[in-house]
Structure 1
Amino acid sequence: MNLQQVQEDRAQGEGLHREFKEAGSQLPRNLFETVCAFLNTDGGTILLGVADDGTVTGVDPDAATQMKSDLAGLSNNPQKIEPPWLLFPHEFELDGKIVIAVQVPLSSQLHKTGGHIFLRSEDGDYRVQGTHQLAGLLNRKLGLFTEQRALPHATLDDLRPELFDRARRLMRSYNSQHPWADLSNEELLKIGGFYAADRETGKTCLTLAAVLMFGADTAIQQAVPAYKFDCLLRRENVDRYDDRLMIRTNLIDAYDQMMGFVEKHLNDPFYLEGDMRISLRDKIFREAVSNIVSHREYTSAAPARLIIYKDRVILDNPTVQHHFGEITPENLRPFSKNPTICKFMIQLGRFDELGSGVTNINKYLPLYAHGAKPVFRETLHGFELTVPLAATPVEAQVRAQVRAQVEAQVVLRILQACMDQPLSSGQIAAALGHKTLSGNLRKTLPHLRECGLLEYTLPEKPNSRLQKYRLTEKGKQLLEKQA
């Protein structure tokens, strides 16, 4: 979500997909009635600190951070909204005042707050009255989201207990205090929204999403026989493939296997973000892989594919189209094709939030591929993401990857050499086992000073023969993090 979208929402006024609420220093009492209504109806945006007529009243700047934290925490609390749905509030400045914006997607589940079900109309939120409204809501959701298809013959015996343990470990690594990390298997299934009522019998059953996330391979193939992810390397043999990996397993393992295929065939250059080394490759493809896992149509016979060419990577998958044409950060309106799967992937830390893929890939790809820009498109056939790469042969990519790894090790060795005492350039070369100061080392030392990892002992005399290099506090912190 960006400032332009917030301004457009405010200009259009309240309606089916927009709600304005005044909020000084605390969340409005009826906030979660609107959250519930948006989740159940068609999604929407809530602006806190805006009056009904669009006047910006603002929220208390000193309270904004706590309000965002409270909103995120309460949205993940089943006592506030059942089943919970983790929201990500964002802070913007409008007319010189602070406004908190919250995007709420359409959910595949039926949500309650305070024991009541709410829906949304042009006039606002209203409580569901009567079974005919409830039946209509359920039928609509089942028609839109096949992940919520009840599987009457699926039981807990069809699920793999070790996958629940793995999910809990991922949650703890993502958030050491994650509220779901100590739940039992059945509690995880319930709070994650992996149960649904069978339309014929009314019996509560495991859903297709539950089997896809935690199921044994045989149970998955029985539920969706055509399901697979097809990973292909087509650098030399573009008609068939140089390497191939077909994946027909649960979504937790499927994600890791696709990331493994990416790591096997794409280089990962050395890059510092601030004082921390990050993997540009992982930043990009973590979002890209999460996208095709979370948003594909699993009942389609067409596979989701990840294809690596010399000059690009293409990821495509069958999906129910929501936005035809190119998707950019400016026109992005997040819509989850599999809300239950998407929500659980966020809880596992697989990606940041709904819509983060477009934002993060546009941010990191130009750094990874020399200014290249990704292309996100929805077509008549489904979703397609094109990630351009530098057109280099395999040998050059291998050399680039080895060179990046060597450079990273050299940087760490230089910093470690200067850890105990300042050293001259000649002493640094000797510590690295060099007889003289090489050309690469001459280039690396000034770069480390520019990054703030090393500093001169005589900054006022840069060309002094007594000049030495001293490890900075930033350099010490980097060594500690790498350790």
Structure 2
Amino acid sequence: MSGALDRYIQAGEGISVEFKRCGSQPGQDTFETICSFANRQGGSVLLGVRDDGAVEGVPEVSALNIERNISNVTSNPNLFNVSPLVEFERLRDSEGRLVIRVWVPMGPSLYTFKGAVYDRVADADVRVKSDAQISSMVARKQSYYSERTVYPWVTESDLEMGLLDAVRDALRANDADHPWLSLSDEELLRAARLYGRDQLTGERGFNLAAVALLGKEDAILDVMPLYRTDAVLRRVETDRYDDRLVCRSNLVRAYDELVGFCEKWLPDSFVLDGGQRKSARDVIVRELVCNCLIHREFVSPHIARITIDGEGIRTRNASRALFAGPVTLETLDPTPKNPVIANFFTQMGRSEELGSGTRSLYRFSRLYTGRDPVLEDGDQFTAFVPVPLVMTAGVANEGGCFAEAGAMADGVGEIPRRNRTRAEVEAAVKDLLARYGSFPASAVAERVASVGERTVRRYLAAMVKEGRLVSAPRGRSTTYRAGNSDDSLGGDC
């Protein structure tokens, strides 16, 4: 039995877990559970498991049709008043029987199935009829999702309406037949749930999500006075920073600005994923930036931060998690912080569905460096993804290793503040060759800070003349590798 499936079976049914037998199609009670999970705190429906936890499995030939049926029913406005988010994961027990996990996050709306409201109470789906109970559910959701807060004074003049053309371009690139493409500006904003009614006060207007996604700077400051994302590079000046971007733009603009900053300072190595050549860096940056922008608590005083250092890239942003602790593939049960904003980014093709993005981050981190990311949720969500050992940005040496000055790990990036002799320069060269196989002069100068780069180049030229090193022009720079003499400094990448 897989670790994830075993964890659900051992826990048993409860407020966020439901077992369902399933033949070729799911029964009506499956959709009642989906409705109740969306109305409460979210949960997982395990299709192919009996109430007592025994695994029966679902027919292999029916798996795709079951998933399509659930997607079609939850998207049908005649059955669900608002489409709840659903995501599928296929699990197997030790005997290979297939179980379909239907993951349903808590949603921002009050959901109904066939006109009825369902809530989750312990391990049961309860049909709610009392107006008082329904009002309580609305109040709970209203206070939980700050992105839904309505600001009646915000008008179209407070938004960068011109950005909607760029939004449409992204929609078209992601789906040429996207239904939003045929809508007017006003219709698109309503379809994206950026304009609505406060369910408690009855006031109508643009909500916080609209200001966060498209707002002009003055409107953002009025609604979210502490909003900003601070991106810094710390490799040489570890106590301060080597480069910095303070981003106060709306989310549509901030995405491009922050992705550009991260791509500028992270090495770009291509990997094979399913036989296709992809940029691991681009996938990782996209996921981390998206998470930092769209899964944050906007009314929190904590500033969101993205830090690139000699070990990797780190993000930190205010969160509002139902469950705190490490986020791993085995414990993955994400809850959307801002489903309206997240859906807007998903429609534009800038982010994946909830859960899929985390799995993609794990997969490409392993392809990038062979190591897992470190993710943890709580009052703040933190993420760390390591990067390859590097020396010169975007340049691969003859051994295929990527390198960038100042980005060495395990203490290579530390800069001693004392003069060094030629013997110390040679020691630095030996270590660089042992680690990377080749290097530029600037990498030695970074390690021997008080010896200027011109002096370093003279030492290196002497070593080339002695046959201890071989120089190789690389565009505007020169890299050095071990020579063939008996006194070669040697080293493998």
What interval of TM-score do these two structures reach, taking the shorter chain for normalisation?
0.7 to 0.9
| Preserved CA contact (<8 Å) 1:86 1:343 | no
Relative to structure 1, the CA distance from residue 220 to residue 83 in structure 2 (aligned partners, 3 Å threshold; closer, same or farther) is farther
Structure 2: how far apart are the matches of 1:12 and 1:311?
A: 37
Query: Where does residue 425 of structure 1 map in the other structure?
Result: none
Structure 2: how far apart are the matches of 1:160 and 1:15?
A: 45
1:180 Cα offset (Å):
4.1
Structure 1: how far apart are the matches of 2:72 and 2:199?
A: 33
User: Which deviates more, 219-228 or 320-329?
Assistant: 320-329
Which amino acid letter does the alignment assign opposite residue 303 of structure 2?
P
- Cα shift readout 1:106-147 (whole Å, capped 9, x = no counterpart): 122222232332211125222322321122112212222211
Alignment of 1:42-441 (within 5 A): 42-94=41-93, 95-198=95-198, 201-369=201-369, 371-378=370-377, 382-393=380-391, 396-400=392-396
| Preserved CA contact (<8 Å) 2:20 2:47 | yes
User: Which deviates more, 156-165 or 301-310?
Assistant: 156-165
User: Which deviates more, 260-269 or 93-102?
Assistant: 93-102
- Cα shift readout 1:381-410 (whole Å, capped 9, x = no counterpart): x121122224545xx23433999899xxxx
| Preserved CA contact (<8 Å) 1:310 1:392 | no
Relative to structure 1, the CA distance from residue 327 to residue 42 in structure 2 (aligned partners, 3 Å threshold; closer, same or farther) is same
Structure 2: how far apart are the matches of 1:77 and 1:289?
A: 32
- Cα shift readout 1:390-442 (whole Å, capped 9, x = no counterpart): 4545xx23433999899xxxxxxxxxxxxxxxxxxxxxxxxxxxxxxxxxxxx
Relative to structure 1, the CA distance from residue 274 to residue 357 in structure 2 (aligned partners, 3 Å threshold; closer, same or farther) is closer
Relative to structure 1, the CA distance from residue 184 to residue 130 in structure 2 (aligned partners, 3 Å threshold; closer, same or farther) is farther
Structure 2: how far apart are the matches of 1:358 and 1:378?
A: 13
Structure 2: how far apart are the matches of 1:220 and 1:284?
A: 28
Structure 2: how far apart are the matches of 1:273 and 1:291?
A: 22
Structure 2: how far apart are the matches of 1:402 and 1:268?
A: 16
1:379 Cα offset (Å):
5.5
| Preserved CA contact (<8 Å) 1:311 1:392 | no
From the two aligned structures, give the one with the greater strand fraction.
Answer: 2
Query: Where does residue 466 of structure 1 map in the other structure?
Result: none
1:71 Cα offset (Å):
2.1
Query: Where does residue 7 of structure 2 map in the other structure?
Result: 8
Structure 1's consecutive aligned runs of 4 or more residues displaced over 4 angstroms after TM superposition are 401-406
1:260 Cα offset (Å):
0.9
Structure 2: how far apart are the matches of 1:389 and 1:151?
A: 42
Relative to structure 1, the CA distance from residue 249 to residue 117 in structure 2 (aligned partners, 3 Å threshold; closer, same or farther) is farther
Structure 2: how far apart are the matches of 1:47 and 1:192?
A: 30
Structure 2: how far apart are the matches of 1:70 and 1:108?
A: 23
Relative to structure 1, the CA distance from residue 69 to residue 177 in structure 2 (aligned partners, 3 Å threshold; closer, same or farther) is farther
1:21 Cα offset (Å):
2.4
| Preserved CA contact (<8 Å) 1:288 1:357 | no
User: Which deviates more, 228-237 or 71-80?
Assistant: 71-80
Structure 2: how far apart are the matches of 1:120 and 1:200?
A: 22
Structure 2: how far apart are the matches of 1:4 and 1:402?
A: 42
Relative to structure 1, the CA distance from residue 20 to residue 323 in structure 2 (aligned partners, 3 Å threshold; closer, same or farther) is closer
Which amino acid letter does the alignment assign opposite residue 20 of structure 1?
F
Aligned-residue sequence identity (percent) comes to 37
| Preserved CA contact (<8 Å) 2:17 2:123 | no
Structure 2: how far apart are the matches of 1:347 and 1:80?
A: 23
After TM superposition, the score normalised by the length of structure 2 is 0.74
- Cα shift readout 1:263-297 (whole Å, capped 9, x = no counterpart): 11112123333442201101211111111112111
SS of match in other structure, 2:53 = coil
After TM superposition, the score normalised by the length of structure 1 is 0.75
1:66 Cα offset (Å):
2.0
- Cα shift readout 1:293-314 (whole Å, capped 9, x = no counterpart): 1211111222211111122211
Query: Where does residue 452 of structure 1 map in the other structure?
Result: none
Relative to structure 1, the CA distance from residue 357 to residue 274 in structure 2 (aligned partners, 3 Å threshold; closer, same or farther) is closer
Structure 2: how far apart are the matches of 1:281 and 1:73?
A: 35
* More contact order relative to length (CA 8 Å, sep ≥ 6): 1
Structure 2: how far apart are the matches of 1:132 and 1:292?
A: 37
Unaligned 5+ segments in structure 1 are 407-483
Query: Where does residue 25 of structure 2 map in the other structure?
Result: 26
SS of match in other structure, 2:113 = coil
Structure 1: how far apart are the matches of 2:6 and 2:308?
A: 39
CA-based RMSD of the aligned residues comes to: 2.8
Aligned residues: 401
1:228 Cα offset (Å):
0.7
- Cα shift readout 1:28-77 (whole Å, capped 9, x = no counterpart): 22433221211111101112223333333433322211221232344344
| Preserved CA contact (<8 Å) 2:267 2:390 | no
